[in-house]
């Protein structure tokens, strides 16, 4: 291949690769949500699924899962002990702020310690 075709060829290959990477990154945004805790489900003692049900300031609700969750393709999102213990201790009525990752359903937020997600109690009940 001559040098005159090498640069345009690399540009085209880069563009194709870049266009395939961008949607995957957009899918795993790290939302920050604020709101009042409606429920703290400790079901994970039975089935591995613990979650906070949060009513956001706009009135919509969101589920924040903590503990661990499989993201598919062998990827697991885990909350470390400190993050899990804090989430476990939260009571209905408390206002919190959480940074997490959207699950594949686009509605549930997962807390993953290895991705520097966090949970803060803003105010007590």
The pair of three-digit structure tokens given for residue 118, joined into one six-digit string: 């966090």
Model pLDDT, residue 102: 87
Nearest-angstrom CA–CA distance, 28 and 111: 12
Q: With 60 as the cut, is the pLDDT of residue 103 above it?
A: yes
Tokens 């604020």, residue located: 34
Q: How confident is the model at residue 24 (pLDDT cuts 50, 70, 90)?
A: very low
Nearest-angstrom CA–CA distance, 119 and 121: 7
Nearest-angstrom CA–CA distance, 61 and 38: 9
Model pLDDT, residue 30: 74
Helix (H) or strand (E) holding 82: helix 81-89
Model pLDDT, residue 78: 80
- For residues 15 and 57, the model is more confident at 57
Q: With 80 as the cut, is the pLDDT of residue 9 above it?
A: no
Which residue segments constitute the domains of the chain, with CATH numbers given?
30-123 (2.40.50.140)
- Report the half-sphere exposure of 67 (CA within 13 A, side-chain side): 18
């Amino acid at each position: 291949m001559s040098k005159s075709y090498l640069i345009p060829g690399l540009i085209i290959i880069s563009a194709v690769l870049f266009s395939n990477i961008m949607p995957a990154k957009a899918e795993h945004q790290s939302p920050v949500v604020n709101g009042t805790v409606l429920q703290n489900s400790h079901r994970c003692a039975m089935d591995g699924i613990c979650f906070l049900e949060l009513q956001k300031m706009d009135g919509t609700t969101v589920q924040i899962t903590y503990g661990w969750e499989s993201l598919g393709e062998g990827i697991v999102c885990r909350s470390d002990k400190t993050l899990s213990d804090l989430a476990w201790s939260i009571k209905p009525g408390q206002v919190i702020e959480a940074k997490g990752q959207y699950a594949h359903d686009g509605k549930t937020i997962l807390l993953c310690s290895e991705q520097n997600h966090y949970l803060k109690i803003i105010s007590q009940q």
